[in-house]
């Protein structure tokens, strides 16, 4: 379902699984949440710092 290469850090919304952040640098969840005003831009789910899904992949 996800094509192409993933950036090292990808953060998904727990509810709708839209991508909230993709980046080469590891970013604290708090910072990502702040960028979205504390909620998912797609489904409006309130984001909290702990249950956010973070996936870190290494590109060789």
Enumerate binding residues for Zn ion (CB under 5 A): 13, 15-16, 40, 42-43, 45
44's torsion region: left (phi>0), alpha (psi -120 to 50) or beta? left
Residue among 6 and 42 whose Cβ is closer to Zn ion? 42
Tell the smallest beta-carbon distance from residue 45 to Zn ion (Å).
5
- Specify whether the CB–CB gap between 50 and 5 falls below 8 A: no
Tell the smallest beta-carbon distance from residue 37 to Zn ion (Å).
13
Cα–Cα dist 40/32, whole Å: 10
Tell the smallest beta-carbon distance from residue 6 to Zn ion (Å).
19
């Amino acid at each position: 379902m996800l094509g192409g290469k993933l950036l090292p850090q990808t953060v998904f919304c727990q509810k709708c699984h839209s991508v909230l952040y993709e980046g080469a640098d590891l970013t604290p969840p708090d910072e990502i949440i702040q960028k979205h005003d504390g909620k998912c831009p797609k489904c409006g789910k309130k984001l909290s710092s702990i249950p956010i899904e973070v996936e870190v992949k290494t590109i060789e």
